[in-house]
Amino acid sequence: MTDYEIEMELEAALEALPKENPPVNLSDWNSGSDYKEKLASVVKLGKKSDLFDYQYFFPDCIKKDLAHKLGFSDEAYENSFFAPVSQSTLSIVTLAIFLKKHNQKVGIVEPVYFSVQSCVDDIGIPYRLFSDYMENINSTFDVEELLQSDCIAFWFTSPVNSCSIYFKERVTKGIQKLLDAGKIVILDESLCVNGYELSRVFGVQENLLYIYSPHKALGLQGIKFSYVVCHTKYYDDINNLEDIYGGSLCYSCQEGARHFVSKNFDDCRDVYTAFWQDNFLKVKNIVKNYDFARISPETFGHYAMIFIRCAVDDASFVEAMKRLMKEKGYFVYPGILQGFDPEKCFCFRINMLLNSNDIENGLKAVLEYIKNTEK
């Protein structure tokens, strides 16, 4: 089954069930009610943004503060262009069109956010998928494979999409080799927890472009904004594309930018970290009771992948999830929906910002099904 077929089947099954007490999707992108309530009691907004005029850039008074908070030095700030757009999907579109205009074949290091491949397909950009790294990129990444390819640009996602695994020295050294060889590198850090940005490793370099969306990691989608950061070499390119495809910034983006540079953002990040880490401990304790399942100890963030050793057929798994919806009130999306190749290893995502009781009860229900199927 394709990822689209799987998603549509599960959505149809969900819609057919009573609306009063809907099943919980452990792979969902939204947070649970407990986390929302806890964070809502902490978050404070300034409400100083302009409701009327078109705004294409953030106020000069906070631009340098934004750069510093993202890990850029004063020197890096002076040599870079920060192009704000209202969300990271528009940043992806902007950079995809940038690659098209420069007629660059792009190497996509999977897994990536789902819209990346759709964008390059729709825009007509030649590309090659590098799919061998997935969970173990920090121990298996081979930059020579990328360097010997005919790709001129490379697209990375950090942390690894839906795994919350950050790049270590093997990968960062490889990325620097690509840059030293004159390749264009895009680092999509939209889900990066503030303080762990690769800007702190690479700074600003001529052919390096970043995507940021700081609130996305905290589950604060209503005030998120996105930044494309590049060397001033690409100022005209990115500024024009951002204007054409991104348009003006909405009120919530302006609020988000002011909030990001405030102490309150740090307070929110502390709540976020404590919440997901508490649930991560519960998840690890559950998973260790099933010898066919594993979760990476490198996980640092609220999305985690549970990898399954035994073979799981897509069609039978979808049917099982339909039954679990009805019988237990829980289900998950298989990892193919997050860009993981089921032929290499079956997996599913879990969101650790969901309510703790849902994570515990739901994860046990899913793993018990797989355990009974394996027999």
Three-state secondary structure string covering 33-67: HHHHHHHHCCCCCCCCCCCCCCCCCCCHHHHHHHH
Span 179-203, pLDDT tens digits: 999 999 999 999 999 999 999 999 9
Q: What is the mean pLDDT of residues 237-259?
A: 91
Rounded mean pLDDT of 326-345?
A: 87
Closest CA to 335 of 351, 343, 321, 346: 346
Tens-digit pLDDT profile for residues 20-36: 889 999 999 999 999 99
pLDDT at 124: 94
**Whether residue 290 has pLDDT greater than 90:** yes
Give residue 339's pLDDT: 84
Rounded Cα–Cα distance for residues 217 and 213 (Å): 8
pLDDT class of 374 with cuts at 50, 70, 90: low
Q: Does residue 157 sit in helix, strand or coil?
A: strand
Supply the Cα-derived Rg of the chain in whole angstroms.
21
For 148-184, write each residue's pLDDT tens digit: 999 999 999 999 989 999 999 999 999 999 999 999 9
Share of the chain above pLDDT 70, in %: 99
Residue pLDDT, tens place only, 69-116: 999 999 999 999 999 998 899 999 999 999 999 888 999 999 888 889
